[in-house]
Amino acid sequence: MEAAALARLSFPGGGAGAGVVGGGRVAFPVSRGFLLAVKEKKKQQLHAPISASTSASASASASASASASASAGKEEALRYDSKVETLLDSVKWDNKGLVVAIAQNVDTGAILMQGFANREALATTILSRKATFFSRSRSSLWTKGETSKNFINVLDIFLDCDRDSIIYLGKPDGPTCHTGAETCYYSSVYDQLEGPKPNQDWLAATTLQSLEATISRRKEEIEEAQNRKPSWTKKLLLDKELLCSKVREEAGELVQTLLEGEDRSRTASEMADLLYHSMVLLTAKDVKIEEVLEVLRRRFARSGIEEKNSRKRREEVRSASHRAVRAVAAPCDDARWRLDSPPHASAVASAAVNNLGTHCCSSDELVP
């Protein structure tokens, strides 16, 4: 995607090059190559002969389009900005203006990390959809992944019942902990008190993750101590036919609990057996349970109609943003440019014009 369609709020004192819309500051990051191409095309247009009538017509058309779309963009930005401000006002910040902010993996449920957020950090997270915190030691905002590139892409945010702590529910791009661990919570208190089990590196994970970790360890141990009697998990990993037959068998037994009217506990037991053997099969194929859960989330989080409409809206916004940038780069084409897309796309295009029209040739606005 050449031009990003997502508007990102930045507060007074934020980065240069943000177009002012509705009292907030909206920035549209685009790729370095795309902006350089825009700059070069604009230079060529300036040296090309343009008739007076064409220039006047283009200028009038651009002025009318920009005025209408700027008005729509301002109204939309004001409405959204007002909702964000109302929500921020409802949070119970402590005497330092902070709340606890916890990041959680949307697919596995694992707790990734904990930090603190102030008003600006939460607002930035809401609009950028990147988990952002407030550093108490540096007294500044920081976005998880700004150095490591292991961002936490926020899909939803939850406030607790007292509205004094928040959860960033998201999908991490990589390990969250600076040690390289998937989460920052990998030191078990009970292991420290009772003594850790050999070759065991627990994470604060869900039951499925813990089971997956155990199965993975059995797979790693297959080549070790060949003379010892293998565990059942190792036997399954060593014998594909046995593994596949067990998956089929357990699936059949689960079905029978329904057909034969067996009690609920029997159904739960057979489902557990099927789940275990299926996870052994996943491990044999080097597929993580997180990948399966992600498929489920994407498949069932929204209806097919909602997914189709969402794709359509993204295309509309992307198209409007492209037209806005082309209008800035090639004034002669403005007469042929019309913002005939829905209001939300027009607002994005308007903000893109405001931003890129002034700063598209500024080196500090180029995003690699």
Could you give the domains of the chain? 8-90+304-365 (no CATH), 202-298 (1.10.287.1080)
Among 175, 156, 181, 151, CA closest to 166: 156
Indicate yes or no: pTM above 0.85: no
pLDDT in tens, 160-196: 999 999 999 999 999 999 999 889 998 888 888 887 6
pLDDT at 71: 60
* Contact between residue 11 and residue 359 where contact means Cβ atoms under 8 Å apart: no
pLDDT mean across residues, the chain: 74
pLDDT in tens, 329-341: 555 444 443 444 4
The residues facing 24 across adjacent strands are 21
Burial of residue 332 (number of CB atoms within 10 Å: 0-12, 13-18, 19+): middle
* Contact between residue 170 and residue 113 where contact means Cβ atoms under 8 Å apart: no
Provide mean pLDDT across the span 216-220: 84
Query: What is the four-CA torsion angle of 351, 357, 363, 365, rounded to 10 degrees?
Result: 0
